[in-house]
Chains A and B, each alone.
Chain A
Amino acid sequence: MHRRILREAASGRLLLAATVLLGAGGALAIIAQALLLAEIVARAFLGGAALAALARPLLLLAGVALLRAALAFLRREAADAFSAKVRGEIRNRLLARILALGPVATSGERTGELVATALDGVEGLDPYLAHYLPQMALAAIVPLALLAVVTAENLLAGALLLLTAGLLPYFMSLLGRAAERSAARQWRTLQLLSAHFLDVVRGLPTLQLFGRSRRQVEIIRQVSERHRSATLDTLKIAFLSSFALELIASLSTALVAVEISFGLLSGTLPFQSALAILILVPEFYLPLRSLGSDFHAGVAGVAAAERTFALLDEPRPPRGPGTRRLPDRSPLEVRLCSVGYTYPGADRPALDGLDLVWRSGEVLAVVGASGAGKTTILRLVLRLLEPQAGEVLVDGTPLREMDLDWWRRQIAYVPQAPQLFAGTIRENIQLGRMDASPEDVEAAARAARAHDFICARPEGYDALVEEGGRGLSGGERQRIALARALATRAPLLLLDEPTARLDAEADDALSAAIAGAASGRRALIVAHRLSTAERADRIAVLRDGRIADIGTPEQLRQGSAVYANLRRAYFPLREVD
């Protein structure tokens, strides 16, 4: 996992190097500060120097303070720039990936999860990138530099530091493992306990209806108490590792102090060096201590980012490099030959050996119970999905050999729940043909029976569409999407009629718009309304992923039991009884 993140972060390596360099510069500033401080104190204390004589080192010390602050600021700037760059790149690739995943991956309830992954999952990498990664380098560099300075001043003090620092990782891993085991044990309990309060508050009306709410107060108290003692048990051990770190750091400060005071007594160590060592010793452990705390934040984020990488690594749907185009005014007869398709994770196929011909010039309606595979047919024709068995042919040419861009330009598509994007109504209608003129847009809107309600708004076609099309009714959204399809002037129309009930008026308006759009056009319509289906040239009845019956509305009305079943009035209660 860490290697993976490093690979992703490669493009920001200059910024990372800058961060580390600035951090190392900061360490040098600390050394300079310690040496200056020691010099000033030594000269005033033992040399009896006056303030005026010390003005230069004092000013220098102030200068070093400024430099140190500047370096600290720039280091964080560089770290943030690094993190922002890497996160930005990962997120951009992830977003491109998500958009390309297509209808299978992005249908239904995955929306929330995908948005969370792209936002919070990537954001979770920030502590790792901005803090942990540079700190890891600094934890190796800075103590070494300090060690070199201390050793140069006094060999024994250096040896003491080296010894304690050698012990640190051992203690850390020992305690870390113990804490991990205990934390894993507690984790599930903690999760359950901490979810309890939210659960109860959300369910308050239900609890009240059943007269159960009052006694929850006592239960909340008890659960919180259990949560507290369980968490503290975990923390008791988790805190031990930082305790060990701090104990070693402060004990060795004390040891070094005693050691150098003996050096001073014996006259082998000048006071100035001794003081400098004393100031530098705590700094020696600081990077290791910060690494400890950054580690936890970093690891939590990395765990959250796993979903991100899993998504990035999902195999792309294979796309044949088709190049074939058909001449203008080709009949564009679409033939599905023994086509099979099973959605990932589904227990039965959506389409199973389906044969269907959508003839040139006809309006073909597909009907069937939900889950019969109707929408899948549209997706196969659009090549949003590849058939797993059989083949889709256009005028005898396999679809996968065709230039996909060219093919999709022949098609206008209205899915069952069309999406409007942030922008104006006009931009939304122009989605399929960016260069559509205002007249074209208006003509399409009129044909989709959308012109009147668009003009009822003060800004008309330039009215802004809110997120997800809120502020427009379901029927209005549908008709804008229909206008969008009609504006493309593509010869083929694929339309998935909405199943969701709108209010009566909107339902009628949409039906009329669909009828108008389909008449005199090539259309393949997934119909959920009887009246829509009956207006088609032919109706294909789908059952269990195959065509159960096909024919003109007249033929089916007279001779199809399957069709009769579908037409049956929607009062299942008496019939099931």
Chain B
Amino acid sequence: MLWRLLRFLRPQRGLAVAALALSFLSLTSQVALLGTSAYLISRAALRPPTLLLLMVPIVGVQLFSIARSSLRYLERYTSHDVTFRLLSNLRVFFFARIERLPPEAIGRFHSGDLLSRAVHDVESLQDLYLRAIAPPVVLALVAVLVWSVISPLAPPVGHALAIALLLTLVPAALELRIGRRLGEAVAAERAQLSAAIADGVRGAEELVAYRCVDAYAARLQATQSRLLRAQRRLRRSAALTTALIGLLGDLAVVLALALAIPLLRQGRLPGWDLAVLGLVALGSFEAAQPLPEALQSLSRCLAAGRRILAVADEAPDIEQEEEGRTPEGSRIEFDGVEVRYSGSAAPALRDIDLNLAPGRHVGLVGASGAGKTSLLAALSGFAPCGAGTLHLGGVPLREVAREKLWSEMALIGQDTTLFNASLRENILLGRPEAALDDVLAAVRSAGLEPLVASLPDGLETRIGEQGARLSGGERQRVAIARALLKDAPILLADEPTEGLDAITAAAVLRELLRLAQGRTLLLATHHLLGLEEMDEVVVLSGGRIVERGRHDELRRTGGPYARLLSLQLDRLSSA
């Protein structure tokens, strides 16, 4: 797993090695600064006959002190550079992979919001180098250096220090295991508190009306106390680890002195080296400080990596030649189609037979969950078709080249995805090579002119994250404008008037019907809006077609459609 993740560093391996080397060298300079200083004062204490003897260590301390901070600066800069390059590699890899996912898988990931989580995971993997891998490697290098420098002088001291340095990995590893368990407990308590607060906020009116505010506040307090306790347990284990690592370093200094003093007495170690050993021991343990955090980052990175690769691995590894077929015309044929999402027992759609000649307008109605959206998703390839066959232009859908399939249809969905770019760019998505005149025509036809006039920079106004500046009706109109530009023969409209007030809904619907002239239209709605204009109404219930016919006929027969209608008629027109 780690190796697979490390592969992403490969294009930057030169830079990564440089950053590691800089980190190691800056730590070494720190240790050398302390060691040389100790050597300097030890030699000075012996009152040498000439100052010249001290010149080398004097120059040495100056040099090391400047080297220490300069190398550290360079190391920070380089390692952040590596981090951002790694992030860029990860993003490109991940997107290139999910872009090749089967559409059915994209539909699945998209609906579960797995994509947003994967984005979060990709971003968190940027810690892989800086926080997770570099510190243990540097620690090991420092241990090797300390061993190879000190062992020739005082073998037992060298061995002991190297072992003690490596031993700091033990509490860090223990903390990793314990911390994970405690971290999960914190997450669980947090989720509970979050849910309880959300309940309380949404239900504030009832809590006030039923005089339960104080009781509920007490309940929230109790929930919060549990969270705080769990958090403190987690912190305690981290604090203990840090203290243990510090203790290990301090005891190593005691041990180094205890081992060195007899050598001194036996004349096997020059006296001035004792202070050097002590300070080198003290300084080298600085390498162990980032260790607990590093191991935690590593485990986070591995978990994130596993999730990302699980998504990415569903895509074909190598770019396949698009060898799909081209549909002839845009006739749509459902023949006994079944749609079953993984993880749900009942199929979302079954036994669907529909044969739609080009240009036909069909309304899909039914309660939410009846299968309207699944039917549209099956047609656009985003839903997994189990049994049955689905043909587009005489070609089985699964054999149609994806680009060809999607160029045949325009989707006007419940929630139009808007990108954080200008309004013009968002509309241009329909046909990027379209001329400005075409865009303006689309804006006019979709009824977007009042919006454009109200925006500070007109068409060039950025519409913000997720199109936050636009109302529901405006977003649907952008979708219509895109569809207008795209000029596809099949229009799929999924509740295009959901959440709009009656007048806006009617206006949007009118634009849609105008756009649909001469094209195939599948209009899913549970408001039964605009159905009298359709060539045929298909009533879905529990994933099956339970009734079909023209609006007027179905209204008279008194079946499921008439029932839906009577409920609709009972509504006061306040929606």
Contact = CB atoms under 8 A, between A and B. Distances in A.
A408 interface: yes
A76 to B, nearest CB: 4
Contacts of B76: 235, 239, 242
A346 interface: no
Given A92-B221, A257-B40, A501 B526 contact: yes
B371 interface: no
Contact of A530 (B110, B368, B402, B572): B572
A367 B570 CA distance: 13
A576 B510 CA distance: 10
Contacts of A77: 236, 239
B95 A198 contact: no
Contacts of A528: 571-572, 574
B356 interface: no
Contacts of A274: 41, 44-45
A370 to B, nearest CB: 5
A106 B80 contact: no
Interface stretch (A36-44, A173-181, A356-364): A36-44
27 contacts: A44-B257, A48-B265, A50-B261, A54-B261, A68-B250, A81-B232, A88-B225, A98-B204, A103-B208, A197-B123, A205-B382, A210-B430, A212-B432, A216-B95, A220-B88, A239-B77, A243-B73, A246-B72, A254-B61, A261-B41, A265-B51, A267-B47, A275-B41, A432-B210, A501-B567, A566-B572, A568-B573
Interface stretch (B141-149, B162-170, B346-354, B501-509): B501-509
A110 B254 CA distance: 59
Contacts of B367: 501, 503-504
A240 B74 CA distance: 10
Contact of A246 (B68, B115, B368, B429): B68
A98 B106 CA distance: 39
A200 B419 contact: yes
Nearest to B482: A210
Interface in A211-235: 211-214, 216-217, 220-221, 224-225, 227-228, 231-232, 235
A115 B201 contact: yes
Contacts of B251: 62, 65
A261 B45 CA distance: 7
Interface residues of A, number: 155
Contacts of A574: 532
A328 interface: no
B564 interface: yes
B107 interface: yes
A397 to B, nearest CB: 20
A239 B532 CA distance: 68
B250 A69 contact: yes
A228 B77 contact: no
B58 interface: yes
Q: Which of A102, A216, A421 counts the most chain B CB atoms within 10 A?
A: A421
Given A119-B193, A528-B574, A530-B572, A58 B254 contact: yes
Contacts of B228: 84, 87-88
B207 interface: yes
Contact of B420 (A73, A80, A192, A201): A192
B471 interface: no
A1 interface: no
B278 A250 contact: no
Contact of A370 (B77, B87, B575): B575
A199 B419 contact: yes
Interface in A369-395: 369-370, 372, 379, 382, 384
B244 interface: yes
Given A199-B420, A250-B33, A422-B196, 20 more contacts: A40-B257, A41-B275, A65-B254, A69-B247, A70-B243, A95-B217, A98-B201, A199-B466, A202-B466, A204-B106, A220-B88, A227-B88, A228-B81, A228-B84, A247-B70, A413-B205, A415-B205, A421-B200, A566-B574, A570-B529
* Interface of A (DSSP majority class): helix
Contacts of B506: 572-573, 576
B64 interface: yes
Interface stretch (B172-180, B328-336, B337-345, B407-415): B407-415
A11 interface: no
Contacts of A208: 99, 103, 106, 402, 406
A249 B69 CA distance: 9
B129 to A, nearest CB: 14
B232 A61 contact: no
A250 B30 contact: yes
Q: Which of B208, B278, B509 counts the most chain A CB atoms within 10 A?
A: B208
Nearest to B260: A44
Given A96-B217, A246-B72, A274-B41, A103 B198 contact: no
Contact of A73 (B72, B88, B240): B240
Interface string B248-273: 00110110011001101100000110
B275 to A, nearest CB: 5
Contacts of B564: 504
Contact of A419 (B37, B62, B110, B203): B203
A411 interface: yes
Given A65-B251, A73-B239, A199-B465, A45 B272 contact: yes
A549 interface: no
A167 interface: no
Nearest to B48: A265
A417 B201 CA distance: 13
A539 to B, nearest CB: 10
B572 A195 contact: no
A102 B208 contact: yes
A367 B69 contact: no
Contact of A115 (B110, B122, B197): B197
B550 interface: no
Nearest to B532: A571
Contact of B91 (A224, A258, A488): A224
A209 interface: yes
Interface string A182-208: 000000000010011111111111111
B505 A572 contact: yes
B509 A573 contact: yes
B278 A41 contact: yes
Contacts of B210: 408, 413, 431-432, 484, 488
A572 B502 CA distance: 7
B206 A419 contact: yes
A532 B507 CA distance: 29
A45 B73 CA distance: 37
Contact of A211 (B190, B232, B253, B403): B403
B436 interface: no
A251 interface: yes
Contacts of A250: 30, 33, 64-66, 68-69
B66 A111 contact: no
Given A50-B261, A232-B80, A213 B45 contact: no
Given A88-B228, A467-B195, A99 B264 contact: no
B409 A209 contact: yes
A570 B573 contact: yes
Contacts of B435: none
Contact of A214 (B99, B106, B575): B99
A231 B526 contact: no
B509 to A, nearest CB: 6
Contacts of B56: none
Contacts of B96: 217
Interface in B511-549: 526-530, 532-533
A61 B568 CA distance: 85
A279 interface: yes
Nearest to B103: A208
Nearest to B228: A84
A499 B574 contact: yes
Given A91-B224, A195-B420, A528-B572, A98 B200 contact: yes
Q: Name the 6 nearest CB pairs between A and B, nearest first.
A: A419-B203, A65-B250, A224-B88, A261-B44, A257-B37, A228-B84
B160 interface: no
